[in-house]
Chain A
Amino acid sequence: MNEVIDPRSVDRPNSYIGKSVPRPNAAKLVEGQGQYVDDIVLPRMVHVAFVRSPHAHARILRVDGAEALQLPGVLRVFTGKELAPHCDPWVATLAHLKGMKSAPQHPLPLERATWVGEAVAAVVAETRAAAEDAAARVVVDYEPLPAAVDMETALLPATPVIHPDLGDNLCFERVNQAGDVEAAFRSAHRIVEATFHTGRHTGVTLEPRSILADYNRASGRLTVHHATQAPHMMQSVLAKHLRLAEGDVRVICTDVGGSYGIKVHVYPDEVAVAVIAKLMGRPVKFIADRLESFASDIHARDHRIEGRMAVDAEGRITAIDIDDLTGIGPYSVYPRTSAVEGNQVVNLVGGPYDFANFRAKTTVVLQNKTPTCQYRAVGHPIATAVTEGLVDLAAEALAIDPVEFRRRNLMRDGSYPRTSPAGMKFEGLSHEKSLETLLAMMDYPALRSEQAQLRAKGVHRGIGLASFIELTNPSPFMYGIGGARISAQDGCTVRIDPDGSVMAATGVTEQGQGTEAIIRQIVAESAGVPIGHVRVITGDTLTTPYGGGTWACRGAGIGGEAALQAGLAVKDAALRVAGAMLQASADTLDLVDGQIVERKSGQARMPLAELARIVYFRGDTLPPDLPRELMQTRHFITKEYPFAFTNGVQACWLELDPETGIITLLKHWCVEDCGRIINPMLVDEQVRGGIVQGIGGALYEHCVYSPEGQLLVGSMADYLVPMAAEMPDIEVGHVETPTKESQLGAKGAGEAGTAGAPAAVMNAINDALKPFGAKVLAQPFTPERILAALGKVPQRRPVPAGTVAALQPRATPHPAERSASATARISGKTGEHGLLARLFGRKS
């Protein structure tokens, strides 16, 4: 455990950590001078367009490219069978996810297409337009096969098994439990239960997936310009499956136009591009178009969760029990796997609360839809929506204010370190302080009274709260122990150049979140140079230390600590040289603002540039055996905790129009605790961006499929994303509980917004709906679903994402009610579950 840096300590030299320093790379971006993959043009470069399956499940009988090859500028048509000999297939499982199974996957399928949008053939042409023209002329004969579309029926005997070798459509199953759940429910004062849906959605990165692979036959080297979050992971994957040495694969990602988890996966069509580059020995570019993005970028969050919570007479949670089902498409996605989202749900449910009895089951099934995988805040928005939804139901059942209910149940601030019933180890969290900070920011009592006054005038506003935890700084426990070649450690190299400027090369990458900015701040402070003298290099496997890249909020906490240590090391090395030059002991000197100074007096002795000049050009003047290592590399990996958990709480204030079902977001607040804050402005903007991404899933975004497995949303006119006019202003506050795992003390901040926002929006809508006795629990909360909950339009049947009907007492439950998803029920001490009950009712 470390002494953590305190940015508030007085007279701290080079104090850049904790300051809102602007990003060094923003200047080029605002002038359109960034370099995204599609901006790169290489000599003899050719373009790929893919022929994609129009069927959810079909046998590929014949692929005929003869007509396509007649078009001008068209060079090659590749099928799966032609690429397969040059690329080893992969199976996306992790050994520590016991019993997990998936099928071998090739760059292009050999025999069967298994989702609408799966690439089945590749056309290479001199221009993208020519390739697209030709793709339309490729004749593919399909034999349509019965598809397994609905996750609810994926395991039924009548449903076709997508991969017969697997025996069934079950990918993974896990039960996580602690205590005695059944006993807790038997002795409960009140039980609330509900079924939640989190609609399948996707990342919609504004820059589509992009790859430009260039193979040089003479040198045997593959250079890949890739819009990716994890260059070293891609290097390892491409080397392994294309049978190259890792050193012969270079992955470069300069600017990336948004990732959010979408660009951390291995996409078969992108691997196909690399194989084609190797076969053709020239640069091959593929840029997905928007329709391809919707059909082939990973989707996420397609979950149905039944949850129940037991509370005692004092309003304390005694047990949580959830049953999660998720459909992940026909293949688990390589190499992170598609079981992690469900696994996260069963790890994170109930996370902020102090209770003992816990059971969470996830069932991960295969289906003929676009594959799902990790997307910003993986599993968190689902776990938080379920937890916070149940919390509000329980508060309502006990007629306790939702704030008061949280105060009674949140983990106490002084109670750490501790382990949650789900087995998560918490080093130090601040739920109570975060909640109180939030309530002060939003002036909760005033808002409640405004709400009451407006309600009397027929204006329906709602307040929704959501406490959450967020998993950051992952150790090898996330992927490495399961056998995936995904690095949890990261490194930074810092080099002093002859003019006294400093180069810092880091294994973490920049996707716009500000990696370059924070690494620059940290290195400037730790090495002791002006921030303008630091240049950061990211995103190149040839020139940066080996690292994991950017995912699971690891850049600041892990990459940042490596940068801190490398900066301190290079300062020590410089001071050693300075001591020899100045005939002084190195420990009496310091490096401040690019000057060697006397530590005690602060008196300047020599510019760093002079020291560097001597080392590089007049090394003959130094003692012969003096080490002059002005380049230092340090790596960092977390040691004591598998993850550094952060926490926070959000609040949403909105207005609901009961005539139209339209929601107007008025304001949103978030208080989060990501430990040591390196750059407050960047953290705030991560939180705000994350919140809006969460709001998108809550209100608009939905990958809708027909019962046959046709994706019905293929454009941004069909799939709605949050735009400026509908979004609220967002206030962000902080509590800082640094992790002692590192000297820097930083945890991650990039996913907190997305983790909590959907739950806060859901609870606010249901708060607004309270006078109507209605509830919605199925995302996205569209006007239609809200009107259906109000009984103003018919409920759609079957209900893939049912919105609950108004909660009316009823003597006997309709048998369909339980499967009609978004039912919320409360039952009394006896625990009978068969009856719909009034929310404010006593025992049903």
Chain B
Amino acid sequence: MSTAVDLSLTVNGERVTRRIEARRHLIDFLRLDLGFMGTHAGCEHGMCGACTVRVDGKIVRGCLVLAASLEGAQVETIEGVSDSGEIRDLQDAFIARNACQCGYCTPGMLLTAADLLSFNPRPSRAEIREHLSGNYCRCTGYHAIVDAVAATAAKRSGGAGR
């Protein structure tokens, strides 16, 4: 039932070559084949956003993407953006505002929030809520997450929050 596929791509800046099953999802490829455990599987059908990662700069659901489709792609996970320091301010805001509790949704939530701020540097609370609406968090009730994203946006823009 499995067909092996040879795959070469870049993950968090490092070239990776593996032979994988054709049915391997990106989330399983990252976790099981490469050991990047920061990306979490929540629902495995694209509803919860816990497995959100970046492929060629765009956020995707790791559970809906077949790894075999990513030949030559650039994949970034929470480990990559943490090491690069790219979202350090957002992470600090999440810590300061207690915008993560159990932490299971947090990597996906951070990548989704970073995505919003990349094209909308001063989002309103409603816009933040809308953009995060595909990322399920059972712990926080979202209010603190919205605060943390708004605070980061304000800080980056050098002004008070909207």
Q: Beyond A30-B106, A207-B42, A724-B137, list 5 extra A-B contacts (CB 8 Å).
A: A32-B82, A512-B100, A690-B141, A724-B146, A729-B125
A724 pairs with B78, CB closer than 8 A: no
- Interface status of A255 (Cβ within 8 A of chain B): yes
Question: How many of chain A's residues touch chain B, expressed as a range?
Answer: 35 or more
Q: How near does chain A come to B98, taking the closest CB pair, in angstroms? A: 5
Contact status of A207 and B79, CB under 8 A, knowing A30-B94, A724-B133: no
29 examples of A-B residue contacts, CB within 8 angstroms: A26-B100, A26-B103, A29-B102, A35-B37, A204-B138, A206-B42, A206-B50, A206-B104, A206-B137, A207-B40, A255-B102, A257-B104, A258-B104, A258-B139, A260-B138, A290-B45, A689-B101, A689-B140, A690-B141, A692-B142, A721-B138, A723-B133, A723-B136, A724-B129, A724-B133, A725-B132, A727-B141, A729-B125, A729-B146
9-residue interface stretch from A306-314, A680-688, A825-833 = A680-688
Encode B97-133 as 1/0 by CB contact (under 8 A) with A: 1101111111100100000000000000100111011
- Kindly state the separation between the CA atoms of A254 and B110 in the bound complex, as whole angstroms: 22
- Interface status of B161 (Cβ within 8 A of chain A): no
- Which residues of chain A come closer than 8 Å to B152, judged between CB atoms? none
B142 pairs with A716, CB closer than 8 A: no
The residue of chain B having its C-beta at the shortest distance from the C-beta of A205 within the complex is: B138
- Interface status of A403 (Cβ within 8 A of chain B): no
- Kindly state the separation between the CA atoms of A32 and B77 in the bound complex, as whole angstroms: 9
The 8 Å CB contact of A27, one of B95, B125, B129, is: B95
A26 pairs with B98, CB closer than 8 A: yes
- Interface status of A464 (Cβ within 8 A of chain B): no
Q: How near does chain B come to A678, taking the closest CB pair, in angstroms? A: 13
Q: How near does chain B come to A300, taking the closest CB pair, in angstroms? A: 14
The SS class assigned to the A binding surface is: loop
- Which residues of chain B come closer than 8 Å to A332, judged between CB atoms? none
Q: Please provide the chain A residues from 110 to 138 with a CB less than 8 Å away from any CB of chain B in the complex.
A: 127, 129, 133
- Which residues of chain B come closer than 8 Å to A205, judged between CB atoms? 138
- Kindly state the separation between the CA atoms of A682 and B48 in the bound complex, as whole angstroms: 24
- Interface status of A641 (Cβ within 8 A of chain B): no
B98 pairs with A689, CB closer than 8 A: no
Q: Please provide the chain A residues from 711 to 770 with a CB less than 8 Å away from any CB of chain B in the complex.
A: 715-717, 721-727, 729-730, 753
A257 pairs with B133, CB closer than 8 A: no
Contact status of A256 and B142, CB under 8 A, knowing A32-B37, A289-B44, A724-B132: no
- Interface status of A485 (Cβ within 8 A of chain B): no
- Interface status of B96 (Cβ within 8 A of chain A): yes
Encode A782-812 as 1/0 by CB contact (under 8 A) with B: 0000000000000000000000000000000
Residue from B39, B95, B138 having most chain A Cβ neighbours under 10 A: B138
A685 pairs with B101, CB closer than 8 A: yes
- Interface status of A659 (Cβ within 8 A of chain B): no
- Which residues of chain B come closer than 8 Å to A726, judged between CB atoms? 133
Q: Please provide the chain B residues from 48 to 94 with a CB less than 8 Å away from any CB of chain A in the complex.
A: 48, 50, 77-79, 82, 91, 94
The residue of chain A having its C-beta at the shortest distance from the C-beta of B111 within the complex is: A32
A729 pairs with B143, CB closer than 8 A: yes
- Which residues of chain A come closer than 8 Å to B128, judged between CB atoms? 724
Q: Please provide the chain A residues from 539 to 571 with a CB less than 8 Å away from any CB of chain B in the complex.
A: none
- Kindly state the separation between the CA atoms of A512 and B103 in the bound complex, as whole angstroms: 7
- Interface status of A34 (Cβ within 8 A of chain B): yes
- Which residues of chain A come closer than 8 Å to B106, judged between CB atoms? 29-30, 32
Q: How many A-B residue pairs have CB under 8 A?
A: 179
- Which residues of chain A come closer than 8 Å to B28, judged between CB atoms? 129
Encode B1-35 as 1/0 by CB contact (under 8 A) with A: 10000000000000000000101000010011000
The 8 Å CB contact of A22, one of B37, B95, B103, is: B95
Q: How near does chain A come to B83, taking the closest CB pair, in angstroms? A: 9
B94 pairs with A257, CB closer than 8 A: no
Contact status of A32 and B95, CB under 8 A, knowing A716-B47, A717-B47, A724-B132: no
Q: How near does chain A come to B130, taking the closest CB pair, in angstroms? A: 5
The residue of chain B having its C-beta at the shortest distance from the C-beta of A203 within the complex is: B138
B82 pairs with A688, CB closer than 8 A: no
The residue of chain B having its C-beta at the shortest distance from the C-beta of A258 within the complex is: B102
The residue of chain B having its C-beta at the shortest distance from the C-beta of A693 within the complex is: B138
A512 pairs with B102, CB closer than 8 A: yes
- Kindly state the separation between the CA atoms of A435 and B32 in the bound complex, as whole angstroms: 52
A207 pairs with B102, CB closer than 8 A: yes
- Which residues of chain B come closer than 8 Å to A682, judged between CB atoms? 98
B45 pairs with A716, CB closer than 8 A: yes
- Kindly state the separation between the CA atoms of A22 and B93 in the bound complex, as whole angstroms: 11
Task: State the 5 A-B residue pairs at the shortest beta-carbon distance, nearest first.
Answer: A32-B38, A29-B103, A512-B102, A257-B104, A512-B101
A513 pairs with B91, CB closer than 8 A: no
- Which residues of chain B come closer than 8 Å to A688, judged between CB atoms? 140-141, 143-144
- Interface status of A661 (Cβ within 8 A of chain B): no
B100 pairs with A691, CB closer than 8 A: no
B95 pairs with A26, CB closer than 8 A: yes
Q: How near does chain B come to A283, taking the closest CB pair, in angstroms? A: 15
Q: How near does chain A come to B121, taking the closest CB pair, in angstroms? A: 19
- Kindly state the separation between the CA atoms of A89 and B43 in the bound complex, as whole angstroms: 32
- Which residues of chain B come closer than 8 Å to A165, judged between CB atoms? none
Q: How near does chain B come to A539, taking the closest CB pair, in angstroms? A: 13
- Interface status of A514 (Cβ within 8 A of chain B): yes
- Kindly state the separation between the CA atoms of A692 and B145 in the bound complex, as whole angstroms: 13
- Interface status of A39 (Cβ within 8 A of chain B): yes
- Kindly state the separation between the CA atoms of A630 and B100 in the bound complex, as whole angstroms: 35
The residue of chain B having its C-beta at the shortest distance from the C-beta of A688 within the complex is: B141
Encode A17-44 as 1/0 by CB contact (under 8 A) with B: 0000011011111111111101100000
Q: Please provide the chain A residues from 163 to 207 with a CB less than 8 Å away from any CB of chain B in the complex.
A: 203-207
- Which residues of chain A come closer than 8 Å to B21, judged between CB atoms? 129
- Which residues of chain A come closer than 8 Å to B145, judged between CB atoms? 724
A29 pairs with B39, CB closer than 8 A: no
- Interface status of B41 (Cβ within 8 A of chain A): yes
B141 pairs with A689, CB closer than 8 A: yes
- Kindly state the separation between the CA atoms of A827 and B138 in the bound complex, as whole angstroms: 42
- Which residues of chain A come closer than 8 Å to B125, judged between CB atoms? 729
